[in-house]
Amino acid sequence: MPYNRQVYYDAAKTQLEPNIFFHSLALEACMSGLYDYLKSENKIGDLEPPKDDWTLAGLIHDIDYSAEFKSNHPNKTNEALEKYNLELPKSVDDIIKAHAPELTGVKPKTLAQWSIFCADSLTGLIVAVALVYPSRKLGDVKLSSVVKRFLKEPRFAAGTRRNEVSLCQQKDGLDIPLEKFIEICLLSMQSTAGEIGL
């Protein structure tokens, strides 16, 4: 069956607080951008899930970070989706679980899992940088601003797990230089700025 993004989008929008919903759209965009970059570098091997799995994982990864499921996030993804008569392919759930290894025991192994793990908390820093611009527009954000805030101002957007984001450079993981990784995520989020209200 072809991937029907809209039904998952609607479920996430209904289930989540607006800020978590926008974060989910941001991570969906990052997953898309990272897939495209890795594909262009010929790094997407046969064992990687298809691109739709990457983006759906980004869109849905926090759906149980809400209401009655919150204390069991992210192990209640399927239960949260059941409310909307939706199911999640196991391949997508495997990606989602890797965004929070300390809660699931699933450590990132595939490139899709590394991508969600490294990008998850970077979205918040990029949004925070946009909000200190006079225009408050994501489209105006310069890569150099994000890199500077990331590297030189650890207390800025302190919720960003800089150590996890920096693992994008790990050779047996994504093997993407930090600045390139930030650039891919920034450009991806800028491409969907209208949807996330920035």
**Interface with Fe ion (CB under 5 A):** 62, 120
- Closest contact distance (angstroms) between CB of 58 and Fe ion is 9
Shortest spacing between CB 116 and Fe ion, in angstroms? 8
Q: Which is nearer to Fe ion, 62 or 94 (CB)?
A: 62
Q: Is 140 or 166 the residue whose CB approaches Fe ion more closely?
A: 166
In angstroms, the CA 122 to CA 115 distance is: 11
Contacts of residue 2, Cβ cutoff 8 Å, sequence gap at least 6:
none
Closest contact distance (angstroms) between CB of 85 and Fe ion is 24
Task: Report the residue number, 48 or 62, with the smaller CB distance to Fe ion.
Answer: 62
DSSP letter for each residue of 84-137? TT----HHHHHHHHTT-HHHH-----SHHHHHHHHHTTHHHHHHHHHHHSTT--
* Least separation in angstroms between CB 74 and Fe ion: 9
Dist. CA 110–CA 149, nearest whole Å: 29
- State in angstroms the smallest separation of the CB of 134 from Fe ion: 28
Token pair belonging to 41: 């570098």
Contacts of 164 (CB under 8 A, 6+ apart): 117, 118, 120, 121
Radius of gyration of the chain (CA): 16
Decide: 98 and 21 in contact? Cβ < 8 Å. Answer: no
Shortest Cβ 113–Fe ion spacing (Å): 14
Residue number, 43 or 81, with CB nearest to Fe ion: 81
Of 46 and 102, CB closest to Fe ion? 102
Which one-letter amino acid corresponds to residue 25?
L
Which residue, 48 or 120, is less far from Fe ion as judged by CB? 120
